[in-house]
Structure 1
Amino acid sequence: MRILIVEDDSIIGDGLVMGLQMDEYAVDWVENLKTANAALATNNYDLMILDLGLPDGSGLDILRKLRREKSSLPVIILTAYDELSDKIKGLDAGADDYLVKPFDLDELRARVRALHRRALGRSTPVIEAGDIVMDPSKLAVTRDGENIKLGPREFAILRVLMENQGRIISKAQIEDKLYGWNMEIESNTIEVHMHGIRKKLGKDLIKTIRNVGYVIE
């Protein structure tokens, strides 16, 4: 999953990036509305964490713009404003959730997972594919009840494919979900991790569609 953070406080921004990367998300962080609009125009995000008080305007402006454009991008508003009226304004403008600073990072991570589940139309916290069960909250995978130890990138790739069962996902789409700005990707990185996943979970789980991508059927 790829997340956009719009937050002008450097301490909070750094903390959010580090915390969300612990869950193997790709995270991009911007500090104003202008850069946020540019990021949204050039990248595909799965979720946005949005501060309201920004140096060049209100976060509500970008939220209202998204909803006018019929974007269903999940948005969590993160702000120092604790008045009930501000919460109502944010939710009525199209926010999906709301957290007031100071906040607990683990709670934010849980809300991110919940919103992502809702966006995918999934009600259960775990993802299943045959005898394989993934629990994103614990970064855990089991096969037939047995714990399987995956590397961080292996887990992230498997999560993308399990969340999109029946859909062919291209190598470029996987890279987009795993790597944020300024992260270098070697040409064979996905193939190397895919080999590791198949070695641990069986070669028949993920099918390669030649010159197209990968799929879990």
Structure 2
Amino acid sequence: MGSITVHPSQVYTGEYHPYSNDHLSPPRTPLSPTLVDSTQHTERPSIKLKIPSGSSNIVNSEVVDEAGQALYSISSTSKRTTLVAARDNAKVATIEWDRSSPRMVFRRKKMKCKEWLPLAGPETQSRILTHGDVQFTWMDQLTSGHLIPANRPGLAMARWRIKSQTDILILEIFQEALVEPGLLEAIVLSLVLLRSGRSLGDTLDAMNPSHPKYFSQHYRFMYH
């Protein structure tokens, strides 16, 4: 989809701290070079993308860079979501929701959504994203998430959060992910699935509070 400029001001360590309240904010006071242990802390260039309706309606939104230029558009009907690259208007993926186990077409391959982005375990909402020979885990929380590679478990390759008191989702992607061909598209598509509010066809997904039918399903589960 072409090169993406990484600005020097967008440099963060990207270390995964699951109990931090604001994963994307850099330190308020820059660390003195004399206080930094270079063997443990390395600067990591990153870019920040915005999804204006990512909090409430990611399936009808767009992904924009810091200059406000659209990189992808996401449009939906009740049956289908389409992800399109804005640069050449090329279709990246389609998701078919009109079945109990939704299907998707990505890179000319048709597959079940729950098989492309499976649950990481029987009692978790985290999901596995496989790209090439590398496996990642989306460690999801209610208003944020981290993409952690299996071979470097303490280092986020991407992370997202909902900007406070807005409908904006901020997606930060680190340089290591940007240089991997096709990984940016896979990250965006996986985030659309995660934030769609729709079931991917596996058991725990139906019990996801972000799903529109969660409360009715939860009621039936508890009392019937």
Q: Which range, TM-score by smaller chain?
A: under 0.3
Compute the TM-score of the two structures, normalised by the length of structure 1: 0.25
The structure with the largest helix share of the pair is 1
The structure with the largest strand share of the pair is 2
